[in-house]
Each structure stands twice: as C-alpha cells, then as structure tokens.
Structure 1
Amino acid sequence: MPSHDLSRARFRLSDEHVFVLVQVAAGEPVPGEFLGAREELRACGLIGENGLLAHVLIPLLDTLMTPTVVISLESVGRQGRLNHGLLIGEDHVIAHQAWPGASESEYSSVEPKTLVWALANMVNLRQSGPGGGAGPAAYPAAAIETRLGTLDAGLAALAGLSGAEAPGSERAYIRKALAQDGTLGEAQAGLLADLLAELRSSWRMTAAWRGREEGRDGVAGRGFAIWDCGPLGYWHRELPEEPVAAEAVRPDNTVRLVRVGAKRVWDLIADLLPEEGELRRA
C-alpha cells in the first residue's frame, strides 16, 4: 500500500503508483489494469475524491515528469537486485530507494548541495571499518583480470551456496568453479575466490542527461561499477567500462577489477554529475 510522511515529504510508492500519478498529472486516462493502484492512492489521500492530486506531490511529480539528469543505481547482492536512483529537476532533487522484498520504494526530497552525500549513502560508502578501512596500500597494485565467463562461474557457485557450509569451505567451492576455466593463475584465483566469498554487493551507477553525442543532440551519460567486498574493501570494475549495453556483453569479455579506497569511490560519484556546459536545455 502507498503511504506518505507529510513532516518530511516522503512517499512509499510502487512503480504502478508512480505510473498512475504521472498519468493523472498529465491529464491522461488511467488504463484499466492500474485502477487498483489508483484506488490505493485515493485511499491514502494522495488522490482526492474529486480526482485531483494532493498538493504535497507537486515537487515529486514536477521532477519525475521533467528531469534534467537521471542517475540510476543498480545493486545486486545476496538479497537480490535493488534499483535506487536520483532525479535532478530544475527546482527539486528527488531520491528513490528500494527495500529488499518490498514492491514500494521510498521517494524523498534531497537538498541539491548534498547530492554526492545522498548517492554515497545509497551505496553505504564508508571511510573506516569493513569495506573502507583498508587503504590501497594494503593491496599493492591489486588488480584482477579474467573473462566474464570465468566470473559468471564463480558467481554461480556463490549463488549455489546454502549458507550451511563449514567455515572456509565457501572459498574452496568457489575456487573449484573458477579453476574450470584454467586461465587464472593460482594467486589470482585465490584472490578472486576471497572477493566473491566476501562480496556484499556489486553495483553500478550511471547518469544520463540531454546533451550532445558525436556532435548531434541526444542523450549523453557516463557511469562506473564497484564491488563492495566488506573487509576486503572496494574494487572498481574498470572493464567492461560503463555504461555498457547488455547486448555487448559476451562470455569472452575481459573483466578487470582494481582495488580502490573510499576516497576514490567518492570522486567517481562526484565526477558522474554533468557540468553545466554539458547540459542541453529543453
């Protein structure tokens, strides 16, 4: 069920609820399969008995309907796939964050000066403690290069673990899957097995905006991907380079992971945002 918090202008909405709100705001009819979602919005007071939208929705809908920059965060972990993001409009910034097992996401306003903080919080970026405490010096020139097919074999082995394995057996099970490829050396296979065993989440963050691509008006953007390996820190997936199209991904693609500190992840987030000169106004 949708809900809202008037004191902080927060909303819990599913994709169906968002679609209905945008249709109503645009003066378009709501398709029959979405009438249940419209009734839920009416029941919680976001759509009035007269069919008008609640005034508190104005910043949210203005930004949803005419964003200047769209930032998407796709995160995959042991609880499944989650989609978060941030929409930058002319007057407002709206963040949306999903919750494992829930159909609704939380939508909330963000102070524009805190954009990077908001995005860093979405990925639980930490400068100290597990995942952020060990600087790059702890892994001199640490990098792993392999094929996507090899990595997929390790991820499949990780997904097949039941959680009841004896301590230390997880890594052996993953290493066995990695060894089937035969291209990884002993040290690299061991390190990759360690990273997979400690993997909290892999996520990619992309930004898109109206700009110029190859001298013509179009959609411009950039992105990057990170592995959060808990006590083994953050690893930047340099290859395949983001943004990467799904149809371009093949088992023989090279995957390159490089150990980075939390400061570098922060800089990558900040560099994702376009400069004013990169934007093409409507």
Structure 2
Amino acid sequence: MPSYDISRSRFRLADGHTVVLTESVLGDPVPQEFFAEQQELLDCGLIDGTGAVSPLLAPLLETLIRPVVVVTVESDGRQGRLHHGLLIGGDHAVAHQAWPGEAESEYSLVEPRTAVGALANMVNLQAANAADAPAIEVVEATVGTLDAGLAAVDSAPLTPSGSEDRDHVRQALADAGGLEEPQLSHFTEMLMEVRASWRMTAAWRGRDGDDAGLVMRGFGVWDCGPLGYWHRELPAEPVREGQVDASSVLRLVRVRPGRVWELISELLPQPDELRFVGPR
C-alpha cells in the first residue's frame, strides 16, 4: 500500500503507483491494468475522486516527469537484486530506495547539493571499511570463472566452521581455470565475504555542438566487508547487452572508501556537460 510522511517529504510507492500518478499529471488515461494501484492511491488520499493529484506530490512528480540527470543503482546481495536511484531535476532531487521483499520503494526529496551523500548512503558506503591493504591489490580472472565461483557459493555445504564451504568454492574456481595462487585463495575469500556487488550509472542529455545525445557513464564495486571495497574496472561500466560473455576479462582493484566517494562524484555531470532544453 502507498503511504507518506509529510514531515519528511517521504512517499512509499510501487512502480504501478508512479505510472498512475504520472499519467494523471500529464492528463493521459490511466491504463486499465493499474486500476488496483489507482484505487490504493485514492484510498490513502494521494489522488481524489476526480483523479487530481495531491499537491504534496508536486515536487516529486515534476522531477520524475522531467529529470535532468537520472542515476540508477543496481545492487546484488544475499537478499536478491534491489534497484535504487536518484533523479535530479531543474529545482529538486528525488532519491528512491527499494526494500528487500517489498513492492514499494521509498521516495524522498533531497537537496541537490547532497546528491553524492545520498548515493553513498544507498550503497552503505562506510569509512570504517578501510581495513589494512591486503598483499593482493588486484584480482584478474574471467567472467566465466566468476560465474563458476558464484554457482559454488550458492551450492556450498553449510558447515559450522565454514572451511568446507571455502574448499568447495576454491575447487570450483580452480576447475574453471585462469587463477593461480595466491589470487585463487584470495578470490575465494572475497566471494565468501562479499556483502553486495553494485553498479551505479548516470545518464543525461549531453552537449555536442548543436547536437543532443544521451550520455552515460558508470562504475561497479564489490563490498567485501572485512576485505574492503573492490572497484570492478573490467568489464567497464556501462555494460551493454551482449557486450560481456564468459571469456570477458574480470578485473577487481582494491580501493579505499574515499576513492569510492570520488567515483560517485565523478559520475555526476558538470553543468557544462548538460544540454538544457527549454527555459532554465
């Protein structure tokens, strides 16, 4: 069910709710398959009987409909895949964060100047995750080897000590080939410790002379808990469909939390990189 918190400009909305709201604002008919979501919005007071949208939603919907920059965060972890993001408009910025097992995401207004902090919060960037640098700073394998390791993690026997789990994963990586010691053992530990792997992508209408085009840039990171953060340099983001196969090189480089913050900052466009259409 949708809900809202007036004091903090927060709204819990599912994808179907945002479809109903944006169609209503644009004056278009709401598709019949979203009748249930329309009724839920009516029941909670975010739309009225005539289909008019609550003024509380005006800044949020203005940004959803006409974003200048769209940042998506796709996070994979033990509770599945979650989609977060940030939309920066002409006057407002809207963050949205998913919750495991829930249809609704939390949408909230944030100050545009705090965009980097909001994105860092979505991936739980922690300065405390700054353990001493390991002897191995770079791990290089193939995507096929990674797939074999992840499959082994999913099928690993659960034992109190965890040693058999690790042996199972290490053997799968060794059988896949491409890794030698000490990288083999270290990559095994990374797969056992990984809390989440995520990728962050920003897109906007860019400027290239008089021509406008979609500009995208992104990066990927593994959060391996006590083993720190690892920047996935290869395959380099943004990865497009069909671009990566089992033979593609996987390269992970150990980075400090401060470097992850810098990568988030570098993701966002500078004003001269944007092409504004219409009045500014």
**How many pairs are equivalent?**
277
- Deviation digits for residues 49-83 of structure 1, max 9, x if unmatched? 22210000000100000000000000000000000
TM-aligned CA distance change 1:244 to 1:49, over 3 Å:
same
1:133: which partner in 2?
A: 130
Does the 8 A contact of 1:94 with 1:109 survive in 2? yes
Task: Report what 1:156 is aligned to.
Answer: 151
Displacement of 1:247 in angstroms is 1.3
| Shift of residue 177, structure 1, vs aligned partner | 0.9
Match of 2:164 in 1: 169
Which residue of structure 2 lines up, in the alignment, with residue 277 of structure 1?
272
Equivalent of 1:263, from 238, 258, 266? 258
Deviation, 1:133, is 2.4
1:118-166: CA deviations, max 9, x gaps? 11111111111xxx1214xx22461011110000110111122364564
1:2 and 2:2 correspond? yes
Tell me the C-alpha RMSD between the 2 structures.
1.5
Give the structure 2 partner of residue 100 of structure 1.
100
DSSP 3-state at the match of 1:21: helix
Change (3 A) 1:25 1:201: same
What amino acid maps onto 1:193 in structure 2? Answer: T
Unaligned runs of 5+ in 1: none
Looking at structure 2, the residues matched to 251 and 201 of structure 1 have their Cα atoms a distance apart, in angstroms, of 21
Quick one: distance in 2 between partners of 1:124 and 1:104?
A: 20
Distance 1:117 1:165, change over 3 A: same
**TM-score, normalised with respect to structure 1:** 0.95
Deviates more, 1:168-177 or 1:226-235: 168-177
Q: Are residue 210 (structure 1) and residue 187 (structure 2) matched?
A: no
**AA paired with 2:39?**
E
The 2-side partners of 1:98 and 1:16 are apart by 14
Quick check: 1:245 aligned with 2:237?
no
Q: Which moved more, 1:78-87 or 1:180-189?
A: 180-189
Matched letter for residue 18 of structure 2: V
Correspondence 1:236 to 2:235: no
Tell me the distance in 2 between the aligned counterparts of 1:102 and 1:61. Answer: 22
Q: Deviations over 1:88-136 (max 9, x none)?
A: 00000000000000000000000122111111111111111xxx1214x
> Does the 8 Å contact 1:234/1:259 carry over to 2?
yes
**Normalization by structure 2: what TM-score?**
0.95
The equivalent of 2:177 in structure 1 is 182
* One-letter amino acid matched to 1:71: V
> Quick check: 107-116 or 55-64, which moved more?
107-116
Rounded to whole Å, the distance in 2 between the matches of 1:164 and 1:213 is: 57
Q: Which residue of 2 aligns with 1:50?
A: 50
Q: In 1, distance between residues paired with 2:152 and 2:176?
A: 13
Q: How does 1:214-225 map to 2 (within 5 A)?
A: 216-225=211-220
| Correspondence for 2:249 among 235, 249, 254 | 254
Letter in 1 for 2:260: V
Q: What are structure 2's unaligned runs of at least 5 residues?
A: none
Q: What amino acid does structure 2 have at the position aligned with 1:122?
A: M
Name whichever of 183-192 and 101-110 sits farther off: 183-192
Identity of matched residues, %: 54
Match of 2:113? 113
Closer/same/farther in 2, CA of residues 164 and 34 from structure 1, 3 Å limit: farther
